[in-house]
Every structure is written in C-alpha cells, then in structure tokens.
Amino acid sequence: MLSFIIYIVGLICTIWCVVDVFKKNISMTCKVIVSILILLTSWIGLLVYYFIVKDNIEKWCAGK
C-alpha cells in the first residue's frame, strides 16, 4: 500500500514538472528534451528539476 502511494505521488509530481516545462518560454526542442529527461530519471530527475533547472532553464535553453 505504501509503495502505491509513493508511486502516485511520483506520478503527480512528474506530470506537474512536465506541465511546468511546457509553460516556459523556450523552444519546443528544449521542452521535449527536458521532459524526456524528467520522465526517464524518476525521482532524481524531479528533484534536480525542482531545485536546479526550474529557475535556470530559460537561460540555458536560450544559450545565454
């Protein structure tokens, strides 16, 4: 039962992160790449996105 709850929380957080990526003002290519990385790396990807990438993605994808 606990593993199911952890799975659901992870699924909700993943969907939230992918939606957040697609709201950013960046190229579609960058959106797809970041979304795939989030989906493939599970909890680690979610944590990295939330604490590091979220605030810097527009700078990084713009190449500045």
Residue with more model confidence, 48 or 64? 48
pLDDT of residue 62: 80
pLDDT in tens, 11-48: 999 999 999 999 999 999 999 999 999 999 988 988 99
Nearest-10 Cα torsion for 19, 25, 47, 4 = 0
pLDDT of residue 63: 63
